[in-house]
């Protein structure tokens, strides 16, 4: 006879911008095993609007005050990119499991520092990559890990998305989409490098690179990159060349100026000694082609982007019902790539080693 879950995971959401109010808050409220205890945001107007819309009573403009006053098991960190490290660290040190939005941090040193804090306190860091939770991502990861295609030799990772207005800082460009922006819209956050770090790299390459590292298990060793913002203060198009620790090489490319009205592109091609694997995340399809002529195809998925999965995984981790499906180690490898890539682009494409980012 199945046991009834009586205890609920007590969770706070930190950051009440558009993604929290569209995804994390409604997702947690719909989860029968979660209790959304409080909201926190340094912006009182956004905080009050979110609390009023969803009927949340306890609000804080200070994360540390909330952590001192509330009894919590987990925290969802969906603040500006530049604050992920300090907020996530405070939660971990207060004894919470953490789900932190992507990118995990803006620097490799901060990403590894968070991993060390989490290990020291026996807590999990879940990074906000919903694609990791699809059956096709798990299948691709399983196929490559099994070794049946042989060693990975070359990876191509391409994403093309229509987020140019985010990067331009046009506040009301998407205001008509009330389903996507039920309370707060992005405003000019992604236009401001002080808040978001960079543009397309930190907003979108983080997704595609996250999938690449998740399914392949690779880690970047050296990165050379070129980026261009055209008329923007942040990058809109990015091109990375990567040598991985395993000896494989790859390219990671992205544009935020894809045509509107479609799904865009999000394709990872992994070429191995004995075959090729292609994962298209937007379409929710996977194909595996072997050099002997055998081919397998999967999908399309009915739900290629399970956006509630990351916060729900936090609840399950708190209650001991599931392992971490989007581990901090993968998030840290993405940050290594991006940190090295941005440094390389600022240096005219000069290669940057990941090891150099971690030296004290």
Whether 267 and 279 have beta carbons less than 8 Å apart is answered as: yes
Range of the structural domain that residue 21 is part of: 9-130+310-326
**Number of continuous H segments (helices) and E segments (strands) in the chain:** 14, 15
The domain tally of the chain equals 2
Q: Which of 206, 210, 5, 10 is nearest to 97 (CA)?
A: 10
Q: What's the pLDDT at 1?
A: 40
Distance CA 206, CA 186 (A): 18
Distance CA 52, CA 240 (A): 43
Whether residue 121 is contained in a domain is answered as yes
Q: What's the pLDDT at 260?
A: 73
Strands ordered across the beta sheet of 125-127: 58-60, 34-40, 9-14, 74-77, 97-100, 125-127
Whether residue 102 is contained in a domain is answered as yes
**C-beta neighbour count of 291 within 10 angstroms:** 12
Are 101 and 181 contained in the same domain? no
Residue 93 has pLDDT above 60, yes or no: yes
Give the residue carrying structure tokens 């540390």: 64
Q: Which of 258, 278, 267 is nearest to 160 (CA)?
A: 258
Are 114 and 160 contained in the same domain? no
Are 119 and 144 contained in the same domain? no
Phi-psi region of 19 (alpha: psi -120 to 50; beta: other; left: phi over 0): alpha
Are 340 and 271 contained in the same domain? yes
Whether 210 and 331 have beta carbons less than 8 Å apart is answered as: yes
Give the residue carrying structure tokens 């950051």: 15
The tens digit of pLDDT for each residue in 32-82 reads 999 999 999 999 999 999 999 999 999 999 999 999 999 999 999 999 999
Residue 4 has pLDDT above 90, yes or no: no
Are 37 and 176 contained in the same domain? no
Are 352 and 225 contained in the same domain? yes
Q: Please calculate the CA angle 41-75-10 and round it to the nearest 5 degrees.
A: 110
Whether residue 244 is contained in a domain is answered as yes
CATH of the domain at 136: 3.30.360.10
Are 296 and 216 contained in the same domain? yes
Are 155 and 262 contained in the same domain? yes
Q: What's the pLDDT at 262?
A: 67
Give the pTM: 0.95
Are 114 and 202 contained in the same domain? no
Q: What's the pLDDT at 172?
A: 64
Whether residue 1 is contained in a domain is answered as no
The tens digit of pLDDT for each residue in 190-205 reads 999 999 999 999 999 9
Whether residue 292 is contained in a domain is answered as yes
Whether residue 2 is contained in a domain is answered as no
**Stated length of the chain:** 360
Whether residue 112 is contained in a domain is answered as yes
Name the residue with higher pLDDT: 174 or 324. 324
Are 107 and 173 contained in the same domain? no
Are 42 and 154 contained in the same domain? no
Give the residue carrying structure tokens 């599931």: 322
Are 121 and 145 contained in the same domain? no
Whether residue 3 is contained in a domain is answered as no
Q: How much is the average pLDDT of 224-252?
A: 97
Alpha helices in 271-353 (DSSP H): 309-319, 328-346
> Two tokens at 31?
């989860």
Task: Place 2 in a pLDDT band, splitting at 50, 70 and 90.
Answer: very low
CATH of the domain at 31: 3.40.50.720
Phi-psi region of 299 (alpha: psi -120 to 50; beta: other; left: phi over 0): left
Residue 171 has pLDDT above 70, yes or no: no
**What three-state secondary structure class fits 143?**
helix
Mean pLDDT (the chain, rounded): 95
Q: What are phi and psi of 145, to 5 degrees?
A: -70, -30
The tens digit of pLDDT for each residue in 246-273 reads 999 999 999 999 977 667 899 999 999 9
Q: What's the pLDDT at 178?
A: 65
Distance CA 60, CA 67 (A): 10
Q: How far is CA 243 from the centre of its chain?
A: 22
């Amino acid at each position: 006879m199945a046991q009834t879950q009586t205890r609920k995971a007590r969770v706070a959401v930190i950051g009440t911008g558009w993604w929290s109010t569209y995804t994390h808050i409604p997702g947690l409220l719909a989860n029968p095993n979660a209790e959304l205890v409080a909201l926190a945001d340094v912006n009182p107007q956004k905080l009050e609007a979110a609390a009023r819309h969803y009927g949340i009573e306890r609000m804080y403009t200070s994360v540390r005050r909330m952590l001192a006053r509330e009894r919590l098991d987990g925290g969802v960190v969906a603040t500006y990119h530049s604050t992920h490290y300090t907020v996530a660290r405070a939660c971990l040190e207060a004894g919470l499991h953490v789900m932190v939005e992507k990118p995990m941090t803006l620097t490799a040193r901060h990403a590894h520092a968070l991993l060390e804090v989490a290990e020291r306190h026996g807590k999990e860091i879940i990074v906000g990559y919903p694609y990791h939770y699809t059956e096709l991502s798990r299948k691709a990861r399983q196929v490559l890990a099994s070794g049946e295609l042989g060693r990975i030799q070359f990876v191509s990772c391409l994403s093309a998305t229509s987020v140019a207005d985010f990067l331009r800082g046009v506040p009301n460009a998407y205001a008509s989409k009330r389903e996507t922006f039920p309370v707060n819209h992005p405003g000019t956050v992604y236009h401001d490098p002080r808040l978001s770090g960079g543009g397309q790299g930190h907003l979108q390459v983080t997704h595609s690179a996250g999938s690449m590292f998740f399914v392949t298990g690779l880690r970047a060793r050296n990165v050379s990159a070129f980026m261009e913002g055209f008329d923007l203060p942040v990058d809109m198009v990015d091109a990375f060349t990567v040598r991985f620790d395993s000896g494989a090489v790859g390219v990671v490319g992205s544009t935020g100026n894809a045509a509107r009205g479609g799904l865009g592109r999000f394709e990872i091609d992994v070429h191995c000694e004995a075959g090729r694997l292609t994962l298209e995340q937007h379409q929710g399809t996977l194909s595996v082609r072997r050099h002997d002529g055998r081919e397998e195809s999967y999908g399309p998925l009915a739900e290629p982007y399970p956006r509630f999965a990351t916060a729900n995984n936090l609840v399950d981790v708190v209650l001991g019902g599931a392992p971490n499906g989007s581990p901090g180690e993968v998030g840290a490898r993405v940050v290594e790539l991006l940190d090295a890539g941005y440094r390389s682009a600022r240096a005219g494409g000069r290669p940057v080693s990941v090891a150099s980012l971690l030296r004290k």
